[in-house]
């Protein structure tokens, strides 16, 4: 691993012009605490608690009963609909309960979980590898990925197959594999890359095949030289390896796209609208496992850090209670500490040690409780405007959210907010801005649901209309692809522009619908 | 893990507070304050002291009446900054009761009647100053003679360079005749030029340490510079040089400390420049054709009123818009 940055290695060093994104913050990273230590396998816990929803979308539906014996990797809950993913047993044992347990979710205390008592045998269910992924149809590859229960393992938990499908039905210019861990403390992707670089690179090639991307980029942060070197050993000139400057939130999808390509994801739209698909490095590794071994997602790397005895990364079976992981790192419960699932900027504060590690859990951080300074009035200093990576006006959003002026918050693009927390971080008045925005988003969604609920027939009609339009649009797509084959996607700006606008409009509709289901789900 | 309240992300803060910002503003005012004391005597210090006491008293009474947390809001330091700015705008010869009137008017009518900290439309220090300027114009325009000029002669008060220029222009003198005496110092008025340079230095430090944006002072100075250059090129006998406008009177104090009050200033990047330019432009107009020698405070208040409009039309495009 003695590769330094200037040595060419196996890949041709295509130096790409990197771009800047607006705002952001540079932190003390605290990554050294855990990044140098090998991630060990965490022993079997007493109990495995698997929430039916560990992703964005509709919860899975159990296919096992209480008392059933399940094998490791066995399907225990099936996907319900398109934006949903299946769930597999993390170990072999007996299903002892299916019911409500505390889950890590901002704003939701409990949700349905399947609880397994491990038998200690770790007996695998029959799994089947896919022999040669390059020879199979991309659609089929996508199906394998879907059935393995892969949700975006970076933190957001968007079902991987949905993103892939967008890539299959649309023209993909660039596939970006995101290894940019921009939050302080978190090193699970760094460790994963260092220890399983081959998985990441091979998984990247598989995703690339599935979406038929023209270019493929793996991005890591500048302060991850070992991970960079590890990847460089496996990469050929089919993949571009890039180091991006360490600045929060450069690992955010929109920001990383801007840094690498200089393109902006349209407001209210998706990356695919500008021909880009992005997946996390852990997702790529999971794809590799799913394809070559038929293994579903049953474990992940988790960084256990902060005020614990021996901070390090662990390879944890999904469903393992947080308290179990903390104990493994020599942490004893302390009144003066706060446990955060995720990083310090976007993590969720959890107050129940039995909450399990799920697919999106990248870090468990123990922090000392600091006295919370009183919230003062906004003095309009504009520090939040300077750091917002989306170029929103956080203080105006705050004024309107606070006075429940929801229409105005929409005009100020509240749904473009990525909740990165930069604004709250720099606010001298200590206003919990992100909390206000979440509140406003929830309120807007609730009102929309009320409006929609009033007229089901109309909704169904709209949906049908929307489906027909979508089909018509899909028929139009080949035109775009033939144009882009010539040189670049930007062959005729007008066509591309109108295409993007139509796609953004469709996505807005879709989001609108999914917000409604999301909320119904919360209430239910 | 026993906390019952779940705290929202982020779980990290850069540690800045309103109090720390106000403290830095006071620090940045020190060079200007010391320079003022050097040229205008210890009276300036007494003015600051009176003003601080009056401001804290007024603020305390208002907070009590409005049932606000006294320690929290009195400790934020905003009243002290208002007091210092007010004290630095007025002449050291102004009696204490005028100072009390100005401070309390500014805090009551410009700050607390609008809802207190963060809600005011107009700058409290500038409002208080304008109020007493309108009420007691003679007292307010009564300045001590600069240290260097009074040597040997027993003179208590005299005109400021801006006031002198205005009076003599009205008497049909030409700029070239007026601005040659010792009152005009090296380039913009004895003492005043150095006081302004000291404010400029303190202000630059505020910009570098990220407390204020460069855009507003740049706008003010740019506005004054451009318009005064144009006029002085057009007729140098009638209109003073840009250097004189930039470094006399309250230009630098206004540009770096009064116009930049975050609560009353524009908040968008483009808006800040427009807001600054507007102040510079109005200040020049008032100095040249207005009834009072200096126009910075008036200019700030007028621009304050325009802020909602400026902000509305300078909203930046968001990512991907």
How far apart are alpha carbons A492 and A505 in whole angstroms?
Answer: 20
A38-73 pLDDT, tens digit per residue, is 998 888 999 999 999 888 888 899 999 999 999 999
- Confidence grade of residue A515 (pLDDT, cut at 50, 70, 90): low
* E strands present in A351-407: 363-368
Query: Mean pLDDT across the stretch A252-263?
Result: 93
Residue of B nearest to A432 (CA): B8
A325, A405 contact by CB (below 8 A): no
Q: Answer yes or no: do B267 and A385 touch at CB < 8 A.
A: yes
- CATH 3.40.50.11540 in chain A is located at 134-293
Query: Mean pLDDT across the stretch A91-98?
Result: 94
- Residue A49 sits at φ, ψ, to 5 deg, of -115, 115
**B95 interface with A at CB cutoff 8 Å:** no
How far apart are alpha carbons B255 and B294 in whole angstroms?
Answer: 13
DSSP-based three-state secondary structure for A442:
helix
Contacts of A36 by beta carbon, 8 Å cutoff, 6+ apart: none
CATH topology of domain A134-293: Rossmann fold (3.40.50)
Provide the pLDDT for residue A268.
Answer: 84
Helix axis angle, A160-169 to A188-211, nearest 10°: 30
**pLDDT at residue A519 greater than cutoff 60:** no
How far apart are alpha carbons B71 and B48 in whole angstroms?
Answer: 22
Apex B110 CA angle, B260 and B256, nearest 5 = 15
Strand A348-350 vs strand A337-341: parallel, antiparallel, or unpaired? antiparallel
Q: Answer yes or no: do B10 and A434 touch at CB < 8 A.
A: yes
How far is B254 from chain A, CA to nearest CA, in Å? 17
How far apart are alpha carbons B274 and B104 in whole angstroms?
Answer: 31
Residues of A in contact with B314 (CB under 8 A): none
Q: Answer yes or no: do A385 and B269 touch at CB < 8 A.
A: yes
**Closest alpha carbon to A324 in A6, A45, A26, A5:** A45
Residue A211's alpha-carbon distances to A167, A435, B235, in angstroms, are 5, 37, 71
Calculate the average pLDDT of chain A.
84
Residues of B in contact with A393 (CB under 8 A): 267-268, 315-316
The strand order across the sheet containing A337-341 reads A40-41, A312-317, A299-306, A363-368, A337-341, A348-350
**pLDDT at residue A365 greater than cutoff 90:** yes
Residue A169's alpha-carbon distances to A275, A487, A493, in angstroms, are 11, 20, 21
- Confidence grade of residue A83 (pLDDT, cut at 50, 70, 90): confident
**B308 interface with A at CB cutoff 8 Å:** no
**Closest alpha carbon to B61 in B111, B132, B120, B11:** B111
Provide the pLDDT for residue B31.
Answer: 96
Provide the pLDDT for residue A8.
Answer: 42
- Confidence grade of residue A480 (pLDDT, cut at 50, 70, 90): very low
Residues of B in contact with A268 (CB under 8 A): 320
A172-186 pLDDT, tens digit per residue, is 899 999 999 999 999
Query: Mean pLDDT across the stretch A346-358?
Result: 89
CB pairs under 8 A between A and B: 149
What ipTM does this complex have?
0.89
Residue of A nearest to B78 (CA): A379
| Gyration radius of chain B over CA positions | 21
Provide the pLDDT for residue A11.
Answer: 44
Peptide bond into B10 cis (omega under 30): yes
**pLDDT at residue A522 greater than cutoff 50:** no
Provide the pLDDT for residue A511.
Answer: 66
Q: What single-letter DSSP state applies at residue B111?
A: I
Q: Answer yes or no: do A421 and B69 touch at CB < 8 A.
A: no
**pLDDT at residue A475 greater than cutoff 70:** no
Q: Mean pLDDT of successive 10-residue segments in chain B (321 residues)?
A: 67 92 96 93 92 96 92 91 95 93 96 93 96 92 75 64 86 83 81 93 96 95 96 92 92 96 93 96 94 91 96 90 80
**pLDDT at residue A518 greater than cutoff 80:** no
**pLDDT at residue A347 greater than cutoff 60:** yes
- Confidence grade of residue A432 (pLDDT, cut at 50, 70, 90): very high
- From first CA to last CA, the distance across chain B in angstroms is 43
How far is A386 from chain B, CA to nearest CA, in Å? 9
DSSP-based three-state secondary structure for A77:
strand
Element (H, E) at A503: helix A493-523
How far is A244 from chain B, CA to nearest CA, in Å? 19
- Confidence grade of residue A341 (pLDDT, cut at 50, 70, 90): very high
Query: Mean pLDDT across the stretch A303-329?
Result: 93
* E strands present in chain B: 143-144, 157-158
Interface test with A, best of B9, B78, B82 (most A CBs within 10 A): B9
Residues of B in contact with A381 (CB under 8 A): 21, 262
**pLDDT at residue A2 greater than cutoff 60:** no
- Confidence grade of residue A10 (pLDDT, cut at 50, 70, 90): very low
**Closest alpha carbon to A328 in A369, A364, A300:** A364
- Hey, how many other C-beta atoms are within 10 angstroms of the C-beta on B134? 10
State CA B203 to chain mean position distance.
11
Hunting for tokens 């599935």 — which residue is that? A210
**pLDDT at residue A147 greater than cutoff 80:** yes
Peptide bond into A249 cis (omega under 30): yes
Partner residue facing A390 (CB), from B13, B16, B318: B318
**Closest alpha carbon to A179 in A187, A170, A171:** A187
**B65 interface with A at CB cutoff 8 Å:** no
Q: Answer yes or no: do A367 and B317 touch at CB < 8 A.
A: no
- The fraction of chain A above a pLDDT of 70, given in percent, is 86
- The fraction of chain A above a pLDDT of 90, given in percent, is 52
- Residue B228 sits at φ, ψ, to 5 deg, of -70, -35
Residues of B in contact with A258 (CB under 8 A): 319
Q: State both tokens at B300.
A: 């700030």
How far is B18 from chain A, CA to nearest CA, in Å? 5
**B314 interface with A at CB cutoff 8 Å:** no
How far is A59 from chain B, CA to nearest CA, in Å? 24
Hunting for tokens 């957001």 — which residue is that? A156
How far is A290 from chain B, CA to nearest CA, in Å? 33
Residues of B in contact with A430 (CB under 8 A): 13, 17
Hunting for tokens 């495009």 — which residue is that? B317
What sign results for the dihedral spanned by CA atoms B266, B271, B275, B280? positive
A127-136 pLDDT, tens digit per residue, is 878 777 777 7
How far apart are alpha carbons A459 and A386 in whole angstroms?
Answer: 41
Residues 187-216, chain B, touching A (beta carbon < 8 A): 213
**pLDDT at residue A4 greater than cutoff 50:** no
More confident residue, A233 or A12: A233
**Closest alpha carbon to A375 in A435, A417, A460:** A435
Q: Answer yes or no: do A347 and B3 touch at CB < 8 A.
A: no
Residues of B in contact with A353 (CB under 8 A): 1
Residue of B nearest to A437 (CA): B8
Q: State both tokens at A105.
A: 């979710």
How far apart are alpha carbons B4 and A517 in whole angstroms?
Answer: 29
Please report which residue ranges of A321-455 form alpha helices under DSSP H: 322-328, 383-387, 394-402, 406-411, 422-426, 433-453
Partner residue facing A254 (CB), from B8, B12, B319: B319
Q: Residue A404: left (phi > 0), alpha (psi -120 to 50), or beta?
A: left
**B118 interface with A at CB cutoff 8 Å:** yes
**pLDDT at residue A298 greater than cutoff 80:** yes
Residues of A in contact with B315 (CB under 8 A): 393
Provide the pLDDT for residue A212.
Answer: 85
**B71 interface with A at CB cutoff 8 Å:** no
| pTM of the full structure | 0.85
Partner residue facing B118 (CB), from A340, A377, A426: A377
More confident residue, B30 or A292: B30
Provide the pLDDT for residue A158.
Answer: 84
Residues of A in contact with B117 (CB under 8 A): 376-377, 379
More confident residue, A450 or A407: A407
How far is A31 from chain B, CA to nearest CA, in Å? 16
More confident residue, A148 or A492: A148
Apex B68 CA angle, B64 and B73, nearest 5 = 100
């Amino acid at each position: 691993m003695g590769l330094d940055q200037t040595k060419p290695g196996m890949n041709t060093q295509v130096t790409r012009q990197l771009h800047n994104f607006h705002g952001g913050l540079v932190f003390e990273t605290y990554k050294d605490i855990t990044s140098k230590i090998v991630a060990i396998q965490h022993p079997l816990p007493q109990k495995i608690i698997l929430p039916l929803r560990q992703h964005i979308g509709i919860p899975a539906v159990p296919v096992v009963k209480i008392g059933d014996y399940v094998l490791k990797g066995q399907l225990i809950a099936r996907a319900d609909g398109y934006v949903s993913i299946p769930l597999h047993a993390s170990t072999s044992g007996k299903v002892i309960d299916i019911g409500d347990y505390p889950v890590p979710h901002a704003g939701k205390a409990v949700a349905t979980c399947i609880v397994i008592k491990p038998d200690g045998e770790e007996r695998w269910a029959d799994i089947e590898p896919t022999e040669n992924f390059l020879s199979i149809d991309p659609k089929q590859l996508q199906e394998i990925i879907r059935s393995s229960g892969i949700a975006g393992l970076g933190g957001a938990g968007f079902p991987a197959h949905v993103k892939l499908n967008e890539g299959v039905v649309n023209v993909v210019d660039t596939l970006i594999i995101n290894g940019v861990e921009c939050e302080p403390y978190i090193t699970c992707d760094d460790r994963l890359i260092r220890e399983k670089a081959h998985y990441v690179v091979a998984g990247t090639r598989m995703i690339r095949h599935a979406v038929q991307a023209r270019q493929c980029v793996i991005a890591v942060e500048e302060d991850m030289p070992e991970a960079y070197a590890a990847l460089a050993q496996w990469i050929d000139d089919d993949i571009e390896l890039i180091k991006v400057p360490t600045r929060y939130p450069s690992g955010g999808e929109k920001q990383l796209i801007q840094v690498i390509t200089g393109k902006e994801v349209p407001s209210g739209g998706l990356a695919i609208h500008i021909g880009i698909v992005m997946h996390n490095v852990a997702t790529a590794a999971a794809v590799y496992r799913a394809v070559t071994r038929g293994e579903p997602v049953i474990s992940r790397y988790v960084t256990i850090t902060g005020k614990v005895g021996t901070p390090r990364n662990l390879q944890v079976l999904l469903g393992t209670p947080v308290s179990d992981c903390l104990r493994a790192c020599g942490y004893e419960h302390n009144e003066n500490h706060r446990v955060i699932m995720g990083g310090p900027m976007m993590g969720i504060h959890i107050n129940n040690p039995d909450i399990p590690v799920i697919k999106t859990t990248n870090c468990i951080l123990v922090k000392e409780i600091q006295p919370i300074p009183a919230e003062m009035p906004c003095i309009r200093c504009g520090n939040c405007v300077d750091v917002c990576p989306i170029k929103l006006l956080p203080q105006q959003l705050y004024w309107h959210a606070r006075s429940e002026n929801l229409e105005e918050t929409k005009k100020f693009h509240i749904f473009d907010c990525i909740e990165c927390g930069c604004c709250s971080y720099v606010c001298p008045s200590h206003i919990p801005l992100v909390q206000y925005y979440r509140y406003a988003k929830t309120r807007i969604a609730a009102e929309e649901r009320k409006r929609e609920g009033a007229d089901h027939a109309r909704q169904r009609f709209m949906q049908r209309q929307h489906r027909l339009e979508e089909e018509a649009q899909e028929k139009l797509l080949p035109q775009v692809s033939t144009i882009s084959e010539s040189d670049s996607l930007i062959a005729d700006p007008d066509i591309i522009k109108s295409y993007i606008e139509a796609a953004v409009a469709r996505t807005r509709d879709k989001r609108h619908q999914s917000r409604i289901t999301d909320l119904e789900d919360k209430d239910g | 893990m026993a906390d019952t309240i779940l705290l929202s992300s982020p779980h990290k803060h850069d540690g800045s507070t309103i109090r720390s910002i106000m403290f830095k503003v006071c620090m940045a005012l020190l060079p200007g304050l010391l320079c003022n004391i050097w040229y205008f005597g210890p009276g300036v210090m007494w003015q600051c002291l009176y003003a601080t006491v009056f401001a804290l008293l007024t603020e305390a009474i208002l907070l009590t009446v409005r049932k606000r947390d006294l320690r929290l809001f009195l400790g934020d330091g905003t009243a002290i900054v208002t007091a210092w700015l007010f004290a630095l705008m007025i002449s050291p010869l102004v009696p204490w009761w005028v100072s009390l009137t100005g401070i309390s008017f500014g805090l009551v009518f410009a700050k607390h009647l609008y809802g207190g900290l963060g809600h005011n439309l107009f700058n409290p220090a500038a409002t208080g100053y304008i109020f007493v300027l309108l009420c007691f114009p003679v007292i307010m325009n009564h300045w001590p003679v600069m240290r260097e000029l009074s040597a040997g002669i027993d003179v208590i008060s005299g005109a400021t360079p801006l006031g002198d220029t205005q009076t003599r222009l009205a008497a049909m003198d030409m700029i070239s005749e007026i601005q040659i005496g010792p009152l005009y110092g090296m380039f913009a008025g004895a003492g005043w030029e150095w006081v302004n340079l000291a404010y400029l230095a303190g202000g630059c430090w505020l910009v570098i340490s990220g407390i204020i944006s460069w855009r507003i002072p740049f706008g003010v100075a740019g506005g004054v510079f451009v318009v005064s250059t144009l006029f002085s090129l057009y007729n140098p006998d009638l209109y003073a040089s840009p250097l004189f406008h930039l470094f006399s009177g309250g230009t630098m104090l206004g540009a770096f400390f009064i116009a930049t009050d975050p609560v009353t200033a524009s908040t968008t990047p483009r808006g800040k420049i427009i807001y600054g330019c507007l102040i510079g432009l109005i200040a020049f107009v008032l100095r040249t054709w207005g009834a009072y020698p200096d126009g910075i405070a008036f200019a700030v208040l007028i621009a304050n009123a325009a802020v909602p409009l400026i902000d509305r039309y300078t909203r930046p495009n968001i990512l991907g818009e």
